[in-house]
Structure 1
Amino acid sequence: MDPEAWDSEEVHRYLTLGLDKPDLDGASGTGTKAMVVGSTGPFAQLAGRKALEAGGSATDAVIATALTQIALAAGSWVSYAGVFHLVHAGEDRTDSLSAGYATFAEEDDAASIPKAPEPSGRTALVPGFMAGIASAHERFGVLPWADLFAAAIHVAEQGFPVGALRAGQFALRKDVLPESFRAQRGDTFRQPELATTLRAVATEGADWMYRGPWAREFVAVVRAAGGKATMDDLARYQPIWADPLTVGFRGTEVHTIARPDTGGAALAAALRLAEDVDGDPLEDPRALHDLIKITRQAMRPGSHSDFVLAVDERGNVAAACHTINTSLWGSTGLFAGGVSIPDSACFQQRALAGLGPGEHLPCPVNPAIALRDGRPVLASSSIGTGLQCATLQGVHAVLGLGLPVDEVVRRPMFHGPDYLAGDTVTTTLQERLKGKAVGSAWQNAVARAKDEGVPREQVWDYVMAAVPQVIDDRFDPAVVRATEELGQALAPRPLSEPTMPRGFWGGIQLGDGPLVGGRTPFSGGTVEGL
């Protein structure tokens, strides 16, 4: 598992894949024994593959990949102080793991938590990521815990090459990032403080972050910025294991993330509605119209950050999603031990107000595993603003239309609603401080609903009726026109447009033949099959 022992040319190749431009073609691959698929960070998928080659479990591969994804992201869209969600199938049972954010006991006025871009320690929450992967490893891991950190530590210590895409992200968020993050294209970006933290967690276990020195630093940093974290908050944190939420769909039983998270329930509701959608949305305007309508009825937009899927040689399957659940690095610029501290409470005040001390904040992630006659046939997960839309299309195409995953990930897709005018990822802090609109189309529609006296429970439907659905411009124009004639407004955009409210989906198809894995365009992850 130590990259120092890997082929140096392979290491260099995986570290430099996709540095300067997004992948517009998607990715797919096959395997006969095992497989790992990731949304971002090719070198992270290499780490997952090495875990499988070493005889590791699907969960080992997911953990090694996720740990490395965060180091490669420099804590931007994913963080070791973020959250982790997993659905696992193996040994004649399935399990759901939720390691979401938890509340601080002393935070008794959630409504007054500052909104972005105002920086405040009160926007922090109790992290779940490290406790989540530790609990998953305890239950399903095979390889030693410390071995799974080797690739992430290598990235933090030795650095990774900065390409045009990452340099642009560093520049975009320069107002909140420390001086050490002022990296340019062509630089090697190292994170020595993070490497020290990762080595400590690898050696001492997750308690280092919940009861040990990192926990003390986290509490000190958050409280110094006005937050209400305590050591007891971290020490009490527990991930939630449960039976997955299940729903029948086209002769399969789809197992997805359970409560308190909301994405599984949304996926289940959508699949029930999609049971009778028989047409192909690329060819049938009615099918396209109905699938879009279903996402608007049963699902709410969410924006999450990295997924990992894995199958091991023993047939165990793991589908995971982990996220910072805010804009790149958040708006506070807070770090503890080289770990970025998300500001995920800055936009969830209403949800937090309904929770008690230490309760988990629900998350709309939707990792899922479909079984037919008790055997896994599809692992699925998604990220991005249009993650719910992407998941429904991917699962419907594979399980409903019978298409192979490698074809599905290259098909045209519809994405999220067209209500964003600048967002917290593509709009710099200074522009937002000057009043640049974020979600103005949405806000204006909500204001109109209020002026017209629309009841609160009807506001969502009122607003969505006026907002077009973004669709990539590879759809047949005749299908687009016919869909609009059925009453669904569409906003075609080029696949390459960076501000598209995009959904990214990945899947691994299992059956009597080879494993087939894939992920949709733009994210840059690889498919590694054995």
Structure 2
Amino acid sequence: MDPRTWDTDEVRRYLLLGTSPPDTEGVSGVGERAMVVGSTGPFAQLAGRQALAAGGSAVDAVIATSLAQIALAAGSWVSYAGVFTMTHFLDGRTDSLSAGFATFAEEDDPASIPRQPIASGRTALVPGFMAGVQAAHRRFGRLPWADLFEPAIFVAEQGFPVGLGRANQFALRKDVLPPGFHAVEGDEFRQPDLARTLRAVAAEGAEWMYHGPWAREFVDVVRAAGGKATPADLAAYEPVWDTPVTVDFHGAQVHAVGRPNRGGVALAEALRLAEGIGDPLTDPVALRDLIGVARQSGRPGGHSDFVLAVDSYGAVAAACHSINTSLWGTTGLFAGGVSIPDAASFQQATLAKLGPGEHLPSPANPAIVLRDGVPVLASSSIGAGLHCATLQCLHAVLGLGVDIADAVRRPMFHGPDYLAGDTVVTPVQDRLQGKRFGSAWQNAVQRAREAGVSREGMWDAVLADIPQVIEDRFDSDVLRRAEELGQRLTVRPVTEPSIPRGFWGGIALGDRLVGARTPFSGGTVEGL
């Protein structure tokens, strides 16, 4: 698993792929016995493929890929102090793992936690990512834990090439990021502090981050910025294993992530409502109804990277991990080279409902689909429109019988038109300066209140007043007729970065493995 022993030209090629402009068509590929699909970081998918080739499990591939994705992102849209969610299948059993953020015991007034862009240590939360991947490895891993860190350590020590998009991200956050944490196009960005932390966690386990030196540094950094973290908060953290949420859909059984997340429940509800809906590309009634299902069953909420893997032992893993905030957040806090998210800065109402140490619910929805007890599809998604993307792709593959490679290339609708795009691909200054974000929602709420709408009916009334963002690749006549049926739409060019986009990936299992992902994220499909 040490990239220094891999083909040098291939390593460099995959690293340079990470600087390429995003594709606009989607990606697909095939494999015979094993496969990994990722949302971002081609070198990270190479790491996952190497794990599978070395005899690793699907979970090993997911972990190696996820660890490398974070190093390649420099902790911007994913973080080792973020969250991790997974659905897993092996030997006829599916399991759900949630390693979400948890609350600090001393935070007794969540309503007063500052909102972005005000920087405060009170916006931090107990991280779940590293505890989550260790829990997954202890139950389903085959390769040594330390080996899975080698690709991420390689990236942190040797650096990754900085393209124009990443250079713009560093420039955007220059007033937030610490001194020296900067790069311009053409640089090789190295993270020596992170490399030391990763080596320690590889050697000592996640305990280094929850009971050891990193935990103490995290607490010191957060408290120095006004936060309420304590060593006991990290020491008490435990991931949650649970039974997945299941739903029958067109003769298949969809197993989605379970409690305490809300994404699996939302997906199950959406699929129940979508049973029998026709093709939204040709039928305006179907388009209206599918958008209605997405709005009724799932509220917007985004995450940052997905990984899917199938191994040669019959295991399937579908995962999602995230920093759950804008790029690097707004605090600029780091511990041991690890970015500290400010995910509490916009979840005050949710936090007020939770007790000390409880996990925040997540909209992430990794799922595994079975027919007669046999896995036929792995699914996961990210982005502000992750629920919309998952619903459309599963509806196409399972409900309409569309080949997965074609499903990821179909036109899509995304989130409602009150979001300011997805933070992975959209300039974050739009959010920080208040452009677009929230104004349409606030205006619709005000109109609903003036009309005397009850609290129970507020969500439906507000959404009915806000258009759905939809790509311009749909047939114009279908769009016109859908609007005549009462569904308001905002049609935007497919390449426009302000689309509140959802990104979906899947692996179809059959006589061969077929992996695919929707456009714009940049990840690859690696089959063996």
TM-score range, shorter chain: over 0.9
Match of 1:110 in 2: 110
- Map 1:354-433; keep pairs closer than 5 Å: 354-420=353-419, 426=426, 428=428
Pairing of 1:478-489 with structure 2 (within 5 A): 478-489=477-488
**Structure 2 unmatched ranges of 5 or more:** none
- Partners of 1:455 and 1:119 in 2: how far apart? 35
2: CA distance, partners of 1:187 / 1:116: 30
CA distance in 2: counterparts of 1:75 and 1:182, whole angstroms: 12
Cross-structure match for 2:522: 524
Kept in 2: contact 1:59–1:318 (CA 8 A)? yes
The amino acid that maps onto 2:135 is: S
Q: Would the aligned equivalents of 2:38 and 2:45 in 1 still touch at CA under 8 Å?
A: yes
Compared with structure 1, are the counterparts of its residues 71 and 434 closer, same or farther at alpha carbon in structure 2 (3 Å cutoff)?
Answer: closer
2: CA distance between counterparts of 1:447 and 1:482? Answer: 29
SS in structure 1 of the partner of residue 370 of structure 2: strand
Equivalent residues in 2 for 1:133-282 (5 A)?
133-277=133-277, 279-282=278-281
Deviations 1:118-169 (A, max 9, x none): 1100000000000000000000000000000000000000000000111111
Tell me by how many angstroms 1:182 deviates. Answer: 2.1
Tell whether the 8 Å contact from 1:421 to 1:441 is kept in structure 2 after alignment: no
Deviation of 1:454 after TM superposition, in Å, equals: 2.0
Say if 1:421 and 1:440, in contact at 8 Å, map to a contact too: no
The code of the aligned residue for 2:64 comes to A
Distance in 1, Cα, partners of 2:462 & 2:137: 43
The verdict on how the C-alpha distance between 1:204 and 1:314 changes in structure 2, with shifts beyond 3 A counting, is same
Q: Kindly provide the amino acid, as one letter, of the partner of residue 377 in structure 1.
A: V
> CA, structure 1 residues 280+184, in 2 after alignment: closer, same or farther (shift >3 Å)?
same
> Matched residues in 2 for 1:284 and 1:356: separation?
47
Shift of 1:404: 1.3
Name the CA distance, whole Å, in 1 between partners of 2:315 and 2:103: 33
Opposite residue 61 of structure 1, the aligned amino acid is A
In structure 2, how many angstroms separate the alpha carbons of the residues matched to 1:302 and 1:420? 10
Identify unmatched segments of 5+ residues in structure 1. none
Name the structure 2 match of 1:443: 442
Match of 1:101 in 2: 101
Higher mean displacement: 452-461 or 256-265: 452-461
**Pairing 1:443-482 to 2, within 5 Å after superposition:** 443-482=442-481
Number of the residue aligned with 1:338: 337
1:50: which partner in 2? Answer: 50
CA distance, structure 2, for counterparts of residue 81 and residue 447 of structure 1: 37
2:442 and 2:339 map into 1 onto residues whose CA distance is 30
Letter in 1 for 2:515: G
Post-superposition offset of 1:179:
2.4
**3-state SS, counterpart of residue 462 of structure 1:** helix
2:39 corresponds in structure 1 to 39
In structure 2, the CA distance between the partners of 1:172 and 1:468, relative to structure 1 (3 Å rule), is same
Question: Residues of 2 paired with 1:434 and 1:152: CA distance?
Answer: 34
Q: Which amino acid aligns with 1:504?
A: F
What CA distance in whole angstroms lies between the structure 2 residues aligned with 1:421 and 1:57? Answer: 38
Q: CA deviation at 1:28?
A: 0.4
What amino acid maps onto 1:523 in structure 2?
Answer: S
Instruction: Evaluate the alpha carbon distance shift between residue 436 and residue 270 of structure 1 in structure 2; reply closer, same or farther with a 3 A threshold.
Output: closer
| Cα distance between partner residues in 1 of 2:406 and 2:380 | 17
Counterparts in 2 of 1:107 and 1:411: CA distance versus 1, 3 Å: same
Amino acid at match of 1:164: L
**More divergent stretch after superposition (415-424 vs 312-321):** 415-424
**Alpha-carbon displacement from aligned partner over 1:199-249 (angstroms, at most 9, x marks no partner):** 000000000000000000000000000000000000000000011111111
Structure 2 CA distance for aligned equivalents of residues 319 and 238 of structure 1: 20
The 2-side partners of 1:71 and 1:158 are apart by 11
TM-superposed CA distance for 1:450, in Å, is 2.7
Tell whether the 8 Å contact from 2:18 to 2:43 is kept in structure 1 after alignment: no
Question: Residue 157 of structure 2 aligns to a residue in which SS?
Answer: helix
**How far apart are the structure 2 equivalents of 1:406 and 1:86?**
23
- Partner amino acid, structure 2, of 1:466: D
Q: Distance in 1 between matches of 2:301 and 2:235?
A: 29
Contact 1:101 1:127 in 2 (8 A): yes
Cα distance between partner residues in 1 of 2:422 and 2:309: 32
Match of 2:303 in 1: 304
Aligned to 1:284: 283
Q: 3-state DSSP class of the match of 1:346?
A: helix
Q: 1:110 to 1:341 in 2, by over 3 A?
A: same
Alpha-carbon distance in structure 2 between the residues aligned to 1:421 and 1:141: 39
What is the alpha-carbon distance in structure 2 between the residues aligned to residue 206 and residue 435 of structure 1?
38
In 1, the alpha carbon distance for the partners of 2:377 and 2:21 equals: 30
Cα separation, partners in 2 of 1:435 and 1:56, compared to 1, 3 Å: closer
**Once superposed, what is the RMSD of the aligned Cα atoms?**
1.3
| TM-score, normalised by the number of residues in structure 2 | 0.98
Assess, with a 3 A threshold, how the Cα gap between structure 1 residues 33 and 243 changes in structure 2: closer, same or farther.
same
CA contact (8 A) 2:79 2:341 kept: yes
Return the letter of the residue paired with 2:88.
H
The one-letter code matched in structure 2 to 1:42 is P
SS at match of 2:216: helix
Query: What code does the residue aligned with 1:203 have?
Result: A
CA distance in 2, matches of 1:518, 1:433: 33
The structural deviation recorded for 1:361 is: 0.6
Which residue of structure 2 aligns with residue 5 of structure 1? Answer: 5
SS in 2 for 1:179: coil
Matched letter for residue 390 of structure 2 = T
Partner AA of 1:71 in structure 2? A
Give, in whole Å, the separation in 2 of the partners of 1:121 and 1:317.
Answer: 38
SS of alignment partner, residue 456 of structure 1: coil
**Structure 2: which amino acid aligns with 1:522?**
F
What is the match of residue 86 of structure 2?
86
SS of residue paired to 1:492: strand
Instruction: Give the secondary-structure state (helix, strand or coil) at the position aligned to 2:344.
Output: coil
Whole-Å separation in 2 of the counterparts to 1:386 and 1:433: 20
CA distance in 1, matches of 2:428, 2:368: 38
Secondary structure class of the residue paired with 1:181: coil
CA contact (8 A) 1:509 1:516 kept: yes
Once the two structures are superposed, what CA deviation does each residue of 1:358-411 show, in whole Å capped at 9, x if it has no partner? 000101110000000000001000000100000001111111111111111111
CA–CA distance in structure 1, aligned partners of residues 332 and 142 of structure 2: 36
Give the share of equivalent positions with the same residue, in percent: 72
SS at match of 1:253: strand
Going from structure 1 to structure 2, the CA distance change for 1:442 and 1:150 (only over 3 Å counts) comes to: same
Pair 1:131–1:165, CA change in 2 (3 A) = same
Q: Is the 8 A contact 2:266 2:297 kept in 1?
A: yes
Question: 8 Å contact 1:420–1:440 — kept in the other structure?
Answer: no
- Give 1:419 shift: 1.2
Aligned amino acid, residue 518 of structure 1: A
Distance 1:437 1:269 in 2: 29
Residues 423, 438 of structure 1: 8 Å contact kept: no
CA distance in 1, matches of 2:127, 2:490: 37
